[in-house]
Amino acid sequence: MSQPYAFLAACALMGFASAALVVSNAAAQTRPAGSASAPRPSPAFTQLTDDGCCTQPFFSADGHHVLFLDKPTATAPVGIWSVAVDAPLSPPTLFTERLGPFSRDLSLALDLQNGQTVIERLRDGKRWTVNNGGRPVIFSLDSKRIVWTVLQEVGGFDVRRAQIYVADVDGRNARRVATRFGGGPLGWLPDSKHLLIGGRANHNDPGPTLSVLNVDTGALRDLVAVERLRGASISPDGRMLAYFVAQARDASQNGMYLLDLTHPSPVPQRLNFFGAFRWRDARRLLYIPLRPGAPGDELWQLDVATGRTERLIAADAGSPFKIANGDWDVARDGSKLVFLSARDRNLWLVTLP
Amino acid sequence: MAQGEARAVFGLPFAEPPGPDTWLLGQVYGNTTGAFARRREWYRAGQGIHFGIDFSARCGTPIVAIGDGVVLKVDAPEHGSAPHNLLIAHPNGYVSLYGHLLERPPLRVGQRVRRGQVIGLTGDPDLTCNSRPHLHLEIRDRTLGRAFNAHRLIDADWDALMLVGAFGRGFQRDLDDPRKWQSVYDQPDIRFGRPLINEFRNTWPRDWN
């Protein structure tokens, strides 16, 4: 009973870049393997928490704190709690009683009250309602705009109608900017003027297409047709998209890819690995190869400009680096990674080499 | 078969290793955000949680028995997971249910099957093979009235599998006790037909439209 679109929406809400989209295919170029450098010693791990408290951790905007939803004692308030990366194992402190989702800069929090979507500005507590039928929104990266989807309730997930609406962050100037079938918005580009969207433009189209939409002008630029695109993640500078294709009808299309979003006719570049991934910065993609049964996880880094790969953390049965729940996050400056360890269910920090 | 006594006695329902060409973990068992959103509809019978494990796979992917057993039912719509399903009774008292199969499995009730034997093909509940093709796998007790947390009974590296491809990987929070049911291993067993267990007074993610 999987729900691909529900996952897409949930990921966007949670601030994850991952998303599911059933979208046809295009010729792909296979990126040369690049040269893997000699392995370097794994970096040191720092245990941040010690009572199995915390799932779905994420970094504060400045990277100085790791945040997570919690209620550490029976009398403590539920909220977003914080542990300082330079004070490991210190008691967490309350960051905010708002739970989010939050804008990227953590200045705005989203909530649902009496069936209405409410946005709160955290610095002064000012709140306002967005008249969108109690639907979740995705903040643009500059926190000035929002996007939401009105999704058809019935029909196959590959053809279900998604009406995409954009408004100013105060809810004004709301308008429908696109309709897609079997897709929806995959994320804002950093200029907060363009949306990456996927799906069929028309119900009867043979397959889905990935496109960039200018929400000011309505100009639409189709990038590529991709069947069963998943895990779409836009690089911090908005120039590249990482994603994977799985279980496509044309099995030769399965795999992980990069796509140059700035190219007028981009060709997907196939990567020679498969696993979980997060952007470290505009140039480097971190990835964890899928290796079930391995004694621990490995962290690798791809330089997307050169194709060079480098192993940053080696699998080691004795290390905490075995991620649970798929819970890991990278600090915005790319210097640190936090994860929930499957060894002890605690949060651990690693400074990336 | 109390929850605390569960041991991983079964194997995975595919002979091939996971990957983009074969299968990936879809929705895990338990109080997932996706199931919570459908708790009063699709998952009401299972007390509001996802009472099986979904494995994403192309239509027609061979499914194997997770343990030795005897075919208990073939195409039993009263147990859900249309369009076709299969139930296998195992000597340890468990019953495995394989749902959303592409076609009626070529097996007869009472037929013995071996762990790893191909017993069916993956399908799509929306009948198109383009919408959400996957296998829905449940592990129940012999009365079929109770479903167990299948992650505790199947020997697999769930932590690794959860890294990639999992739809709705997060678990819904009870904000009165937000640490409850936040691991794939501590999700509760359910009894079919009993009241919802996740009508929380205060919850997160919010109950969005």
Beta bridge partners of A194: A214
Interchain CB distance below 8 Å, A342 and B24: no
What is the C-alpha to C-alpha distance for residues B61 and A248, in angstroms, rounded to an integer? 12
Q: Regarding beta strands A269-271 and A29-30, do their DSSP bridges make them parallel or antiparallel, or are they unpaired? A: parallel
Q: How many domains does chain B have?
A: 1
Taking residues B15-41, what's their average pLDDT? Answer: 96
CA angle, residues A94, A96, A102, in degrees to nearest 5: 135
**What's the maximum distance between 2 C-alpha atoms anywhere in chain B?**
49
Nearest to B185 by CA among B198, B175, B171, B195: B171
Distance of residue B57 Cα from the nearest chain A Cα, in angstroms: 6
What string of DSSP letters covers A255-311?
EEEEEETTSSS---EEES--EEEEESSSSEEEEEE--TT-SS--EEEEETTT--EEE
Check: CB of residue B29 under 8 Å from CB of residue B23: no
How many other C-beta atoms are found inside a 10 Å radius of the C-beta of residue B208?
Answer: 18
Interchain CB distance below 8 Å, B159 and A244: no
Distance of residue A27 Cα from the nearest chain B Cα, in angstroms: 17
In chain A, which among 303-332 make CB contacts under 8 A with chain B? 322-326
Q: Which residues of A touch B46 (CB under 8 A)?
A: none
Check: CB of residue B117 under 8 Å from CB of residue B65: yes
Interchain CB distance below 8 Å, A55 and B182: yes
Please state the separation of Cα B207 from the chain's center in Å.
Answer: 24
pLDDT grade for A37, boundaries at 50, 70 and 90: low
pTM to 2 decimal places: 0.91
Q: Does residue A13 have a pLDDT over 90?
A: no
Distance of residue B116 Cα from the nearest chain A Cα, in angstroms: 18
Closest chain A residue to B185, measured at CA? A325
Interchain CB distance below 8 Å, B20 and A246: yes
The residue ranking higher by pLDDT, A276 or A22, is A276
- Reported ipTM: the value is 0.94
Q: Does residue A7 have a pLDDT over 60?
A: no
Q: Looking at residue B134, which CATH number applies to its domain?
A: 2.70.70.10
- The pLDDT score that the predictor gives to residue A20 is 29
The residue ranking higher by pLDDT, B104 or A6, is B104
pLDDT grade for A53, boundaries at 50, 70 and 90: confident
- Please check whether residue A4 touches B, CB under 8 A: yes
Interchain CB distance below 8 Å, B160 and A294: yes
Domain that holds residue B75: 3-204
What is the C-alpha to C-alpha distance for residues A66 and A48, in angstroms, rounded to an integer? 9
Tell me the fold of A4-351: Methylamine Dehydrogenase; Chain H (2.130.10)
Interchain CB distance below 8 Å, B58 and A247: yes
Q: Where are the domains of chain A?
A: 4-351
Rg (CA), chain A: 20
Locate A268 and state its tokens: 């997907």
What string of DSSP letters covers B161-199?
HTTSS-TT-SB-EETTSTTTT-SGGGPPPEETTSPPS--
Locate A223 and state its tokens: 């990038």
